[in-house]
Chain A
Amino acid sequence: MIAPAPASTPSAPAAAPAPRRKRPAALQHIGSRYSILVVWAALAAVYGVTNTSNFMSVASFRAIFNGQQPLVFMAAALMSTIIVGEFVDLSVPSVFGFAATLVPVLAVSHGWPVWAAIVAAVAAATAVGAIQGYLVVKVHVNTIVVTLGMGTLLTGVGIWMTNDNTISGLPTGLGKIANLDLGGLPVSFYYGVVLIAGFAYLMWFTPLGRHMRFVGASREVSRLSGVRVDRIRFGSFVVAGLLSGAGAVIAVSGFGGYNPTSSDTYLPQVFAVVFLGTAMIEPGRFNPIGTFIGIYFLETGIFGLQLLQLQNWVTNVFYGGVLVIAVTISTLLRRRSS
């Protein structure tokens, strides 16, 4: 039962680049390119055998594919900056949490119309991205310092706004934005699919995507080739804020409320999936579809471990371990390609 799920989801977008990539060089990489799918199938098989009754069920399939929308949007936000060479945007989960907190705070505590709260939250997240972009690109402040500081600051502001409580009480009708059932999966899953497909299209088929790749590879080469390097770097921070904000609004609609501290736990996961993505599809490069597969691969692992009665600590051990392994693989692939 589990078999069709992983096969159908990733293979649809992955098919898109196939015609462009018909080449002898591709064959050399074919092993590393899709090896994770094999590992994934093996993982599912092991869980299926050891815990047949629980794992091989529609319920577990749903559990794996249900709740990953926040991670998909945050991973896309991180990719936006990491692809253009801004190596560590540590603020992504905090910006997400800040925007997600802002919606119930404005709508419930301050009585704003819901739509206004949503617009304000997305705008605030985008503005944070713009401020970070300005500091990094124009003022040349170190990315780690800017994003670490900004992330901590926003988490603090969130706690202050909510008095460290979960503010809930958003209108139940709003939940449809995220939870509407489409073919057994919530609509929020498809937002992620569309976002990732769009991102992949941008990277593969548009001039902007090509420019972003080159800025990530070498700023000086890009500048001397007529690419407006600073504009692209700044824009990537703004887009990162926008994606975090949009993802947060969808997530908080589904949850009905939000606690500002809960998004911090996403930090290692976001990095783990983005780096894991470099082991797939385009080995050695950050790429959207690889990241998307990575998200569901990791969730399968976590879910199975939890079914085996292993408790919450498993999540940390698993994500942390995968982060280190994924970065190692990515580094080795890069070295091999150059």
Chain B
Amino acid sequence: MERLRVADLSKTFGAARVLRGVHLAIAPGELHGLVGQNGCGKSTLVKILTGVYTPDSGGSVTVDGRALALPVRPLDARAAGLSVVHQNLGLVDDHTVWENVRLGRYQASRIGRRINRKEEKRQVAEALARLGLELDLDERVGELAAEDRAAVAIARVVQDHVPGGGLIIFDESTRALTKKGRARFFGLVQSVIDSGASVLLISHQLEEIVEVTDRVTVLRDGQVIEGGIATKDTDEAGLTRMMLGRHVVTHSRVDSHARDGVAARVRNLASRSVSEFDLDLKEGEIVGLTGLVGSGAVAVAETIGGARPGRGGVLTVGGTELILSKRRGSTEEFIRAGVAFVAERRLEQGLAAELSVTDNLTLPRVRSRGGRFRTGGGWQAQETAAMIGKLDIKPPDPHALVGTLSGGNQQKVLLGKWLVGQPSVLVLHEPTQAVDVGARHDIINAIREAAREGAGVIVSSVDAADLAVLCDRVLVFRNGQVAGELSGELTADDIIHATFEGPAVEKPGPQQRREELHHQELNRKGVTR
């Protein structure tokens, strides 16, 4: 009997189907990995399991053979031994270890409703002992090292488990840990598993998924692409490919539009995570920046776009020199110099959901194109109509509120907001994140057209398929430095390999790689059947 069985679970928000018929099965004592891109539905699944969201009717969640009532009631979930350790661990920093472990479980005395500290502490000591941990119960949690904090969070959920039962979901819980801390963390996880509990590990760190899990489930666009394949049959590159999906490669490369003129020059860019980065961007050239989380690719893009100050360096655009270490109240100077920055999180950084398409699209130019005392309506209507037509924004209503548009159309409005200003440098961060295939097609075409018209384009992305079809060259970052540069005929596989492999590792020859791919293809088919 499975510890957890999720069957045919779907979730719809308005018009968007976020989960479609998801199946998941976890055996007792298993360490199961769950991977997928941002927006693939991982967090929605977790929120259904913890009762935050109500799933669409038709699905079921079964723990140890008993079906849970849907929507999941938190107390039912706890009684069944189902618990989640979130990314931020859910700890209260000012409180002590024992208070944090017992949070929400205090047993008050019958009369007087007082908390029996002695009894509480005894139970905490017991829970810690089960994990083989020694911690000062009266230490404030804020003072602890990251891995001890994780231990406290684990102790909190483990105490509810009946011996030999329970399931812990770790939702990006390892993010704050160092390499050493991570080893200790997984030691703890192992002892939890040895006691008979199961673990569902959700992580963006494919490296650790491959290292520690028994089986993996891959989600893409709300669907299970691979349900519980044995981890030993796959690797990081294989998982990445499954996460991104082959179907996204709908574009073929086109010829480069790079010209001789210089669009931008970056010298000695430095930030917290990047040291000494130089770049000469030609007019019409599309340069990709990629790398693992924390590698520096994102920091470089955001610094060039003006979104955050660096520690040093100079960006020259047209005749303007911009000191990158200067703190600025806004990106005004960058915009005036001809730099446009298309941010990653469209609703937090890109667009105001409660305001209209026109208002959002024209915002960067409302001062320069409008008069001081009059915004003027003509140019706004013109710009908006031009972008709605060019990017095929739906519905084609300039007065629609941005919040009512679908994700793909919001992304188009965000792109249009900057394209219409005809920037000489266009910096994009994950321009096709969480958009559907059609929107992606329109967005890629629009980026190419900007390059054709002479803009220098910088694309920061972890989506190798995007980079492969768009870029003239791709800079691969590792530990704050450019570890490799790929150019010429790019393929997504080349980019993925360069991202995940150290420079010392020899690239497999094409023959060898084809065999490897073929092997994985067979594996996948075998498992899905």
| A:139-188 near B, CB below 8 Å | none
Q: CB-nearest residue of chain A relative to B370?
A: A207
Asked if B518 is at the interface of the complex by the 8 Å CB criterion, the answer is no
Asked if A227 is at the interface of the complex by the 8 Å CB criterion, the answer is yes
Q: CB-nearest residue of chain A relative to B352?
A: A217
Asked if B494 is at the interface of the complex by the 8 Å CB criterion, the answer is no
- The listed residue (A213, A229, A231) touching B355 by CB distance below 8 A is A213
Asked if A264 is at the interface of the complex by the 8 Å CB criterion, the answer is no
Asked if A221 is at the interface of the complex by the 8 Å CB criterion, the answer is yes
Verify A213–B364 contact, CB threshold 8 A.
no
In the docked arrangement, what's the CA distance between A230 and B367, Å?
17
Verify A228–B354 contact, CB threshold 8 A.
no
Give every chain B residue within 8 A of A338 (Cβ-Cβ): 353-354, 401, 403-404
Q: CB-nearest residue of chain B relative to A23?
A: B399
In the docked arrangement, what's the CA distance between A23 and B384, Å?
15
The interface bits of chain B over 391-419 (1 if a CB of A lies within 8 angstroms of the residue's CB, else 0) are 00000010111011000000000000100
Verify B397–A221 contact, CB threshold 8 A.
no
Verify B354–A337 contact, CB threshold 8 A.
yes
In the docked arrangement, what's the CA distance between A25 and B403, Å?
14
Verify A226–B348 contact, CB threshold 8 A.
no
Verify A205–B355 contact, CB threshold 8 A.
no
Contact A224 to B307, CB < 8 A, known contacts A206-B374, A207-B366: yes
In the docked arrangement, what's the CA distance between A227 and B363, Å?
9
Asked if A223 is at the interface of the complex by the 8 Å CB criterion, the answer is yes
Asked if B343 is at the interface of the complex by the 8 Å CB criterion, the answer is yes
Q: CB-nearest residue of chain B relative to A334?
A: B354
Asked if A20 is at the interface of the complex by the 8 Å CB criterion, the answer is yes
Verify B367–A224 contact, CB threshold 8 A.
no
Contact A231 to B352, CB < 8 A, known contacts A225-B364, A226-B364: no
A/B interface sample: 22 pairs, CB < 8 A = A20-B377, A24-B397, A205-B373, A205-B374, A207-B370, A210-B366, A214-B359, A217-B354, A221-B349, A223-B331, A224-B307, A224-B349, A225-B330, A225-B331, A226-B334, A226-B335, A226-B364, A227-B332, A227-B363, A334-B354, A338-B403, A338-B404
Q: CB-nearest residue of chain B relative to A22?
A: B399
Give every chain A residue within 8 A of B181 (Cβ-Cβ): none
Verify B400–A218 contact, CB threshold 8 A.
no
Verify B349–A226 contact, CB threshold 8 A.
no
Verify B348–A220 contact, CB threshold 8 A.
yes
Asked if B319 is at the interface of the complex by the 8 Å CB criterion, the answer is no
Asked if A93 is at the interface of the complex by the 8 Å CB criterion, the answer is no
Interface residues of A (CB under 8 A from B): 20, 23-26, 205-207, 210-211, 213-214, 217-218, 220-231, 284-285, 334, 337-338
Give every chain B residue within 8 A of A224 (Cβ-Cβ): 306-307, 330-331, 341, 343, 349-350
Verify A228–B353 contact, CB threshold 8 A.
no
Verify B399–A214 contact, CB threshold 8 A.
no
Which of A206, A207, A230, A334: most chain B Cβ within 10 A? Answer: A207
Interface on chain B toward A: helix, strand, loop, or mixed SS? loop
Contact A25 to B397, CB < 8 A, known contacts A207-B372, A223-B329: yes
Contact A284 to B330, CB < 8 A, known contacts A23-B399, A205-B374: no
Asked if B375 is at the interface of the complex by the 8 Å CB criterion, the answer is yes
- The listed residue (B363, B372, B377) touching A225 by CB distance below 8 A is B363
Give every chain A residue within 8 A of B307 (Cβ-Cβ): 224
Taking A210-B363, A213-B355, A217-B354 as given, write out 7 further A-B residue pairs in contact, using a Cβ cutoff of 8 Å, ordered by the A residue number.
Answer: A25-B399, A214-B355, A222-B363, A224-B331, A226-B332, A227-B332, A338-B404
Asked if B351 is at the interface of the complex by the 8 Å CB criterion, the answer is yes
**4 nearest CB pairs, A to B:** A217-B352, A338-B403, A226-B332, A226-B335
In the docked arrangement, what's the CA distance between A274 and B354, Å?
19
Give every chain B residue within 8 A of A230 (Cβ-Cβ): 329
In the docked arrangement, what's the CA distance between A226 and B421, Å?
13
Give every chain A residue within 8 A of B377 (Cβ-Cβ): 20
A-B pairs under 8 A by CB, number: 98
- What is the CB-to-nearest-CB distance from B302 to chain A, in angstroms, rounded to a whole number? 10
In the docked arrangement, what's the CA distance between A212 and B375, Å?
13
Q: CB-nearest residue of chain A relative to B402?
A: A338
Give every chain A residue within 8 A of B401 (Cβ-Cβ): 25, 337-338
Give every chain B residue within 8 A of A285 (Cβ-Cβ): 354
Give every chain B residue within 8 A of A210 (Cβ-Cβ): 359, 363, 366, 375
Which of A225, A228, A229, A334: most chain B Cβ within 10 A? Answer: A225
Verify B350–A231 contact, CB threshold 8 A.
no
Q: CB-nearest residue of chain B relative to A218?
A: B352
Q: CB-nearest residue of chain A relative to B336?
A: A226
- The listed residue (B330, B355, B367, B372) touching A223 by CB distance below 8 A is B330
Give every chain A residue within 8 A of B417 (Cβ-Cβ): 225
Give every chain A residue within 8 A of B353 (Cβ-Cβ): 217, 338
- What is the CB-to-nearest-CB distance from A82 to chain B, in angstroms, rounded to a whole number? 15
In the docked arrangement, what's the CA distance between A207 and B372, Å?
7
In the docked arrangement, what's the CA distance between A209 and B508, Å?
59
- What is the CB-to-nearest-CB distance from B329 to chain A, in angstroms, rounded to a whole number? 5
Give every chain A residue within 8 A of B399 (Cβ-Cβ): 23, 25-26
Give every chain A residue within 8 A of B373 (Cβ-Cβ): 205-206
Q: CB-nearest residue of chain A relative to B348?
A: A220
In the docked arrangement, what's the CA distance between A214 and B399, Å?
16
Q: CB-nearest residue of chain B relative to A26?
A: B399
Verify B332–A221 contact, CB threshold 8 A.
no
- What is the CB-to-nearest-CB distance from A26 to chain B, in angstroms, rounded to a whole number? 8
In the docked arrangement, what's the CA distance between A225 and B335, Å?
8
In the docked arrangement, what's the CA distance between A20 and B380, Å?
12
Give every chain B residue within 8 A of A214 (Cβ-Cβ): 352, 355, 359, 363
In the docked arrangement, what's the CA distance between A25 and B343, Å?
28
Verify A227–B354 contact, CB threshold 8 A.
no
Contact A229 to B349, CB < 8 A, known contacts A25-B397, A207-B372, A207-B375: no
Give every chain A residue within 8 A of B355 (Cβ-Cβ): 213-214, 217
Give every chain B residue within 8 A of A284 (Cβ-Cβ): 354
In the docked arrangement, what's the CA distance between A284 and B366, Å?
23
Give every chain A residue within 8 A of B372 (Cβ-Cβ): 206-207
In the docked arrangement, what's the CA distance between A337 and B403, Å?
8
In the docked arrangement, what's the CA distance between A36 and B341, Å?
43
- The listed residue (A26, A211, A221) touching B350 by CB distance below 8 A is A221
In the docked arrangement, what's the CA distance between A24 and B399, Å?
9
Give every chain A residue within 8 A of B335 (Cβ-Cβ): 225-226
Give every chain A residue within 8 A of B331 (Cβ-Cβ): 223-226
In the docked arrangement, what's the CA distance between A312 and B364, Å?
51
